[in-house]
């Protein structure tokens, strides 16, 4: 399910997805497409993965 709104993690206006665990509405940059989880739930480690994905 997708809708426009403000990302709960980075705060930008974008097409949002809801995390299946926490229900947080996050943009595609803050969502791990492989798991369907927000970055907070999918990996509580570093932000390095997120930055790497932006360059793919």
Q: Which residues in 9-48 contact Zn ion (CB under 5 A)? A: 9-10, 19, 21-22, 24, 27, 29-30, 38, 41
CA angle 5, 44, 40 (to 5 degrees): 10
Strands, E assignment, the chain: 2-6, 13-18, 25-27, 31-32, 37-38
| Closest approach of Zn ion to the CB of residue 50, in Å | 9
Check binding of 6 to Zn ion (CB under 5 A): no
How many residues touch Zn ion under the rule CB under 5 A: the total is 12
| Closest approach of Zn ion to the CB of residue 7, in Å | 3
């Amino acid at each position: 399910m997708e809708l426009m709104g403000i990302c709960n993690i980075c705060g930008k206006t974008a097409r949002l997805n809801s995390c299946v665990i926490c229900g947080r509405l996050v943009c595609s940059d803050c969502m791990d497409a492989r798991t369907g989880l927000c970055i907070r739930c999918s990996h509580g480690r570093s932000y390095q993965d997120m930055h790497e994905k932006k360059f793919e």
